[in-house]
Structure 1
Amino acid sequence: MTRFLASAIFALAGLAAATPASAQADFSSCLSGLRSQAAAKGISSQAFDAATRGIAPDLKILELMQSQPEFKTEIWDYLAALVDEQRVEDGMAAMRQWGRALASAEARFGVDRHVIAGVWGVESDFGKNFGDRPLVQSLATLSCYAPRRREYFTGELMATLKIVQDGDIDPGSLRGSWAGAFGHTQFMPSTFQRLAVDGDGDGRRDVVNSVPDAVASTANFLKKAGWDNGLPWGYEVRLPENFNAKLAGRKAKRPLSSWAAMGVTRIDGRPLSGNYQAGILIPAGVNGPAFVVTKNFDAVYSYNAAESYGLAIALLGDRLKGQPSIRTAWPTDDPPLSRAQRKELQSLLLSRGYDVGEPDGKVGAKTREAIKDVERQLGMEQRGRPGAKVLQALRG
């Protein structure tokens, strides 16, 4: 992915340097070629022309590709932002409001409704953040100018055009991330074509405007990925002092009894029990929280192919069940901040004259630069990290 981004940035930088007229001419020529490919995929010329009429290449994709984090996000920071009290409260409210749809999805596909809600919460904050970039424009830009994955993005563009032609979703509602993910649970267009289902019985598959469609489609995804409602995704455990970290890993599964024989217990000290295969996940090493993980965790992982992401969904699902948060402390002397604390930090930075924009809990480039200056004053490594030490200093 890193090589792809570097190549894409280079290509789009060349596009940005071109004159608007030449860039549009080049884009129009590319669209003509895409129009022919669309026809071969069964997409009518009328549907293609209606969807692409008047669009220009979205050069801001270049900026979005370049705005990668300037520092490695530790797992404790990642989870603190996604599984905080605010999101748990919002999730419980969403589950009450859409309880019937979630129960129906669970009964139809055999996937825990709390995990479905976990995906919903992590992907769009329960419908609050879909992304605002028009899919056709974004994917057409990437189809024309992404050098290494052009074929992939072209496929996603064709899938988007098929959605429009089939009438599942109104074209004006097809807005999402710069890469093309959209809706309550951020499906890619090709994933939508394969796995989206009608959850509300209106004969359409609309993961943008219909929560029942979105949660049922997500349940279908997880079921196809191997979810088994007879198993937990996993749970926090306590490792013995001499635990060999080389044995850990999501894929290094063995019978639960084998881990028990090594001295692994539940976090409350109770013995492990169950007749299934599991791995041990130690996202911050043996000195941090540890988790037994089953094939259900693998199903969640497949949604975005990142263990930190899968853990956020699983832990949010547990919190929505009323279970407590992680008990083991993360191996850091500078604890992470929740979204409420990040908003407070931004407000304090504003009060000291830093231009960080409206306090929203989202740590962007301006907030990171301001934090770096505070870290410099404190004699800390300048990383732009929103941690407890910086917040305490600003409070003081």
Structure 2
Amino acid sequence: MSVRSTAKRLASVVTAASLSLALLMPAGPAFADAGFRQWVASFRATAVQSGVSGAIYDQAFRNITDVDPVVLEKARTQPEFTAPAWDYFDNRVHDQSVAVGQQMARKWKPWLDRIEARFGVDRNILLAIWSMESNYGEILKRNDIMRNVIRSLATLGYADPRRSKFARTQLIAALKILQSGDIDESHLSGSWAGAMGHTQFIPTSYQHYAVDMDGNGKRDIWNSIPDALATAANLLRKNGWQAGKTWGYEVVLP
């Protein structure tokens, strides 16, 4: 038997084996992507019925062709939050975070004065929220953490049964944010679950509480610190914050 004929027979065996394996393997990304694209196409009618223009919808999804695998992994592995509050604070509040907070208090003092006067919320509370939610905006610079909000919410709406109802509601709200002109789709970034900006607002909360504090005509919690902090202050005020009171009191039970 010649080397050439042996090579041909070997190639035939490998090809046959490969085809057999392909038939036995579950549907791969191409099939999943096709399903996702079909879902996006069908969800368009729901969005339009909810007040999103077809043009905005099409523009938002023009470069989104598949699910975000990072979002799916985060959704699958998200741990339950079981740490006691004080342990959580001890891990997040330290000398460095306090020092940065003091720097931010000085840097943004004129705006903090105005926000405090308008909403009656202590500046230190707002700085603490900013620190805890985005590390004073540092998280927003992390491309490995920040995701496309439309793609993230569509991924969850399509592929995560536990979060699909929530995600679809948030997706429509996010599309309406684009429609309002406050931000464009290329800058609508957030966490894997859709929390956005310096103070990490989900889209529906943004709709209810977002403030254009700097007066430029846009409620921009991604790029405007005054807008982000005023939005947090507005949420607190509208949910019963009382000026002059602290955020909470420790209760020690016998």
TM-score (norm 2): 0.82
Equivalent residue runs for 1:67-106 within 5 Å: 67-69=77-79, 72-106=82-116
Is 2:139 the partner of 1:129? yes
Is 2:48 the partner of 1:39? yes
- More RCO (CA 8 Å, sep 6+): 2
Could you tell me how far apart the structure 1 residues matched to 2:94 and 2:34 are? 48
Aligned twin of 2:189: 175
| Deviation by residue 1:252-279 (Cα, 9 ceiling, x = unmatched) | xxxxxxxxxxxxxxxxxxxxxxxxxxxx
- Structure 1 stretches of 4+ with a deviation exceeding 4 A read 69-72
Amino acid at match of 1:126: Y
Q: Which segment drifts farther, 147-156 or 29-38? A: 147-156
Partner residue of 2:154 out of 140, 161, 164: 140
Amino acid at match of 1:34: F
Aligned twin of 1:48: 57
| Deviation by residue 1:270-328 (Cα, 9 ceiling, x = unmatched) | xxxxxxxxxx534xx76xxxxxxxxxxxxxxxxxxxxxxxxxxxxxxxxxxxxxxxxxx
Aligned twin of 1:22: 31
Aligned twin of 1:194: 208
Shift of 1:70: 8.7
Aligned residue pairs: how many? Answer: 224
Shift of 1:139: 0.3
Whose helix fraction is larger, Structure 1's or Structure 2's? 2
Shift of 1:152: 1.7
Q: CA RMSD in A?
A: 1.9
Could you tell me how far apart the structure 1 residues matched to 2:94 and 2:77 are? 25
Structure with higher Rg: it is 2
Contact 1:101-1:215 within 8 A present in 2 as well? no
Partner residue of 1:184 out of 175, 178, 198: 198
TM-score (norm 1): 0.54
Q: Tell me the percent identity.
A: 45
Contact 2:122-2:244 within 8 A present in 1 as well? no
Whose strand fraction is larger, Structure 1's or Structure 2's? 1
Contact 2:72-2:156 within 8 A present in 1 as well? no
User: Structure 2: any 5+ residue segments left out of the alignment?
Assistant: 1-25
Contact 2:222-2:228 within 8 A present in 1 as well? yes
Contact 2:125-2:247 within 8 A present in 1 as well? no
Equivalent residue runs for 1:219-238 within 5 Å: 219-234=233-248
Could you tell me how far apart the structure 2 residues matched to 1:230 and 1:70 are? 34
Shift of 1:221: 0.2
